[in-house]
């Protein structure tokens, strides 16, 4: 399994480097694109928001390659804590304990634009992520114990943007996240669909339209 993870990572890095090399002239003219990339997902059948920020390099208005940072909690303030029963195998006998689970990960991604016109922008995205799952256990005597578990994941998604008017875009998307490694109970909890429902407002155009009226 570790060998498989290394192959995935090496393949993505080589692909990223090859694309940058092949399009060196276009890269010189391109500008980095910084975007929020938050979405919702299911963890142990419970809806959880994932906060994300990514930095990408568009190429020929068709491709984009970059990196992202994602977390279920931001500064231990924003986001929802994930509560579930956790089977602790570190004790004899094993015991099921209530737990609070969070996660964060770093990713590299590639995105391909399928449709781009005056109204619609539809993209396909794939990413490979490396990060950690944080597990806070409540012992039977009431004391707290924390543990961390490294994880890697693959995620594929489709996202559509619809230009409703000059300043408002409606955004929707679907995808699936697959954990490559980790405990089976963690993989079962985190292997799940993702979905995106949001909107983007171009305030510059909004204020211009208001001023024009």
From first to last of its 213 residues, the chain has per-residue pLDDT tens of 445 455 545 555 555 554 444 444 444 456 888 888 888 888 777 788 888 999 999 998 899 999 999 998 775 666 677 888 888 887 778 888 888 888 899 999 999 999 999 899 999 999 999 998 888 888 878 788 888 888 899 999 999 999 988 888 899 999 999 999 878 888 888 888 999 988 887 777 777 777 765
Domain count, the chain: 1
For residue 98, the domain's CATH number is 2.40.160.20
Q: Residue 24 corresponds to which tokens in the numbers above?
A: 């060196």
User: What is the DSSP secondary structure assignment for residue 74, as one 8-state letter?
Assistant: B
Please give the Cα distance from 98 to 125 (Å, whole number). 35
User: Collapsing DSSP states into helix, strand and coil, what is residue 16?
Assistant: helix
SS3 percent helix, strand, coil of the chain, rounded to 5, is: 20, 60, 20
Range of the domain at 202: 2-212
């Amino acid at each position: 399994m570790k060998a498989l993870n290394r192959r995935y990572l090496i393949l993505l890095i080589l692909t990223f480097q090859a694309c940058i090399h092949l399009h060196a002239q276009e890269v010189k003219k391109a500008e980095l694109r910084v975007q929020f990339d938050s979405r919702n997902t299911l963890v142990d059948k419970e809806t959880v928001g994932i906060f994300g920020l990514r930095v990408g390099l568009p190429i020929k208005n068709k491709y984009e390659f970059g990196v992202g940072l994602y977390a279920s909690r931001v500064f231990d303030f924003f986001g929802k804590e994930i509560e579930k029963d956790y089977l602790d195998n570190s004790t004899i006998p094993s015991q099921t304990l209530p737990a609070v689970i969070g996660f964060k990960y770093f990713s590299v991604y590639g995105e391909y634009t399928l449709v781009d016109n005056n109204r619609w922008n539809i993209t396909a995205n794939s990413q490979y992520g490396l990060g950690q799952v944080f597990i806070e256990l409540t012992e039977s005597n009431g004391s707290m114990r924390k543990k961390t578990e490294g994880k890697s994941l693959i995620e594929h998604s489709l996202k559509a943007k619809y230009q409703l008017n000059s300043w408002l875009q409606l955004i929707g998307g679907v995808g699936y996240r697959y954990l490559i490694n980790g405990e089976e109970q963690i993989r079962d909890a985190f292997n799940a669909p993702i979905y995106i429902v949001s909107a983007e407002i171009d305030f510059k155009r909004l204020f211009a339209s208001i001023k024009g009226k």
